[in-house]
Amino acid sequence: MIVGQIELRVCDTPNDDGSSITVEWNAGPGYRIFEILRSTEPDGDFEKVYEAGAGETIFIDSDVKLGKNYFYKIVGRNDSFVTNSQVAGPVRPEVQYFNLARLPVLVCIIVLFAIIILYITRAKSGEKLFVRKIPALKAIEEAIGRATEMGKPVLYVPGIMDIDDPQTIASMSILSRVAEKTAEYGTSLYVPTSKSMAMTMAQQIVKESATRVGRPDWYNPDNIRYITDDQFAYVSAVDGIMLRERPATNFYLGTFYAESLILAETGHSTGAIQIAGTAMPDQLPFFVAACDFTLLGEELYAASAYLSQEPVQLGSLKGQDLGKLLFISVIVIGVLSQIFNWHFFINLFNIE
C-alpha cells in the first residue's frame, strides 16, 4: 500500500472569540487514524490532543489559551505504517472583533434598513405615496359589517405561534383595526390563542382599541382566551367555537401549519365569510382553496401599514418595493455572472 505524505496547515480560527485554533491536513489514502499532537515549544514535548478517523481533514482545537503560541504535528497510522508530518506553527489564538464572513449580511441589512428609512422620512415630510389596493383588505370591513347585520360574532385566530414570530406581530396589528371596527359596531369578537403571551398582547390591544373608539364597556376579557399550546388540541377547541358560537366572519391571520385546512374547512361548513393571511408558503394553497379572501405572503405584513394609512407606515411599504427591485437586479447580475464566470459576485452570497 502506498502511503503519502501528510501536509499540515494550522491557523487561528477566523472570526471567533479567540478560543480556538484550526488544524487542517491533507494526506494520501491508506491511513486508519491520525493523531494530532500539540506543544508550546517547536521542539518540546508534544502531547496528543485528538485522534481523528480516516475521513477527517480538519480539527478545531478549542482547548487553547488566548494569546499563547502553539505548535502542532500529525502522526498518521495504519496497521503497518506510521508517518510523521512536519511541525507547523507557531500559531496564536486571537480575538476578532468583527466577523468578516458576515460582512455581506451587514451590508444587506444596512441597505434594506436605509431604503426603508429613506422612504419613511420622505413620507414624514408630507410626500404623497400611492399604494395599490389589496382586495382581501377591503373585504375586512365588509365582513365585519356582515356579522353585525346577522347579529353574530366575529372570530379572530392570530396563528398558532407566539409573539416572537413577526407574523404574529403583523396579525396583532391587524387585530387592533378589527377590534376598533367590531367595538364600534358592538359586535362580539372572539380571539382564542394558542400561546399565553399572545393572549396577553391580544387582550391589551382589544382593550385599548375599544377605549379609543369610546366603547370601553364593550371589552370583555373572557372573549380573548388562552386554550392550549398544543397545535391540534387548540384546533379542536377552535373548531368547537365555530360550531357552537357560529361566527359569521372568521379571520385566520398569522403563522399556520397543517391546521390551516382543518380550520378553514370547518369554518366553511358553518357558512362563515373567511379571510385568511399567512406568510407560510406551504399553507397558502389550503387557504386559497378554502377561504373567500387570502392575504398572500408579504401582503400580511403590508396589511398593517395599509390599514393604518399613516404616511410613516406606507413609506416602509415603498421601501419594501425598492427592495424588490434591488433583488431583481441582483438576480439579473447573478445570472449574468453565471454566464460570464464572475465567480466573485456569486461567492459574495456564500455564508458560513
Partner 1 sequence: MRVFDYLSHLDRRIIFLLVALAVVIPMLVPLNLPVDITGPVKNVYDKIESLPEGSVVLISTDYDPGSEAELYPATEAIIEHCFRKNLRIYMMGLWPAGSELGNMALNKIAQSYNKKYGKDYINVGYRPGGQVMLLSLGRNFGDVIKVDYQGIPIDSLPLGGGVKSARDISLVITFSAGDPGILHWITYFHARYGVPICGATTAIMAPQMYPYLSSGQLTGLLGGLKGAAEYETLVDKKGRGLRGMDSQSIVHLLLVGFIALGNVILVYQRRRG
Partner 2 sequence: MINTIGIWVAALLTLAIYSFLYKDNAFYKIAENIFVGVSAGYWAVVLWYDFAWPNLFEPLLTRGQWYNIFPIFIGVLMFAPLIPKISWMIRIPLTFTMGVAMAVSITQFVQGDIFPQLQATFLPLSGVSLFKGFSNLLIILGVVFTLIYFYFSKEHKGVLGIGAKIGIWFMMVSFGASFGYTIMARVSLFIGRIYFLLHHWLGVI
Partner 3 sequence: MKTILPLIIVFCCGFYMLATFFIPARFSQTSSQTLQNWYLGVMAFFVFIGIFNLIKINVDKIQRKLRDWQYSIILLTFLGVMLGAGFIGGRDSKVFLYLFENFQVPLGATMFSLLAFFVASASFRAFRAKTPEATLLLIAAVIVMIGRIPIGYLIWHKFPDLVEWIMQVPNTAAKRGILFGIDLGLISMALRVLLGIERSYMGGER
Per CB under 8 A, residues contacting partner 1 are 32, 51-56, 269
> Distance from CA of residue 121 to its chain's centroid?
27
Does position 99 interact with partner 3 (CB under 8 A)? The reply is yes
If one counts every other C-beta atom within 10 angstroms of the C-beta of residue 151, the result is 9
Does position 313 interact with partner 3 (CB under 8 A)? The reply is yes
Cα separation, 307 vs 310, whole angstroms: 8
Report in angstroms how near the CB of residue 78 gets to partner 1 at its nearest.
11
- Within 77-96, the residues that bind partner 3 by CB under 8 A are 95-96
Give me the residues that bind partner 2 (CB under 8 A), please: 102, 104-105, 108-109, 112, 129-132, 134, 163-166, 169, 196-197, 200-201, 203-204, 227-230, 232-234, 236-237, 239-240, 243-244, 282, 284-286, 288-289, 296-299, 302, 317-318, 320-321, 324, 327-328, 330-331, 334-335, 337-339, 346, 349-351
Phi, psi of 39 (to 5 degrees): -150, 165
Does position 106 interact with partner 3 (CB under 8 A)? The reply is yes
Which C-beta is closer to partner 1: that of 246 or that of 268? 268
* Burial of 341: CB neighbours in 10 Å, binned 0-12, 13-18, 19+: exposed
If one counts every other C-beta atom within 10 angstroms of the C-beta of residue 328, the result is 10
Would you give the binding string for partner 3 spanning residues 266-295, x where CB under 8 A is met? --x----------x-x--x-x-xxx-----
Cα separation, 174 vs 274, whole angstroms: 15
Give which of 7, 31, 179 is closest to 85, Cα–Cα.
Answer: 7
Residue 130 touches which of partner 1, partner 2, partner 3, none (Cβ within 5-8 Å per kind): partner 2
Report in angstroms how near the CB of residue 315 gets to partner 2 at its nearest.
11
Q: How wide is the angle at C-alpha 11 spanned by C-alphas 9 and 14, nearest 5°? A: 135
CB 307 within 8 A of CB 144: no
Q: Which residues pair with 294 in a beta bridge?
A: 276
- Within 238-257, the residues that bind partner 3 by CB under 8 A are 244
Residue 243 touches which of partner 1, partner 3, partner 2, none (Cβ within 5-8 Å per kind): partner 2
CB 277 within 8 A of CB 291: no
Three-state DSSP class for 309?
coil
Does position 149 interact with partner 3 (CB under 8 A)? The reply is no
Residue 132 touches which of partner 1, partner 3, partner 2, none (Cβ within 5-8 Å per kind): partner 2
Which C-beta is closer to partner 2: that of 1 or that of 312? 312
Report in angstroms how near the CB of residue 12 gets to partner 3 at its nearest.
12
Does position 184 interact with partner 3 (CB under 8 A)? The reply is no
* Burial of 96: CB neighbours in 10 Å, binned 0-12, 13-18, 19+: middle
Interface pick for partner 3 out of 228, 246, 334, 337 (rule CB under 8 A): 228
Kindly state the helix (H) or strand (E) to which residue 90 belongs, with its residue range.
strand 88-91
| Integer Rg of the chain from CA | 30
Residue 301 touches which of partner 3, partner 1, partner 2, none (Cβ within 5-8 Å per kind): partner 3
Starting at the earlier edge strand, list the strands of the sheet with 6-12: 6-12, 21-27, 58-61
Three-state DSSP class for 274?
strand
Residue 104 touches which of partner 2, partner 3, partner 1, none (Cβ within 5-8 Å per kind): partner 2
Report in angstroms how near the CB of residue 260 gets to partner 1 at its nearest.
15
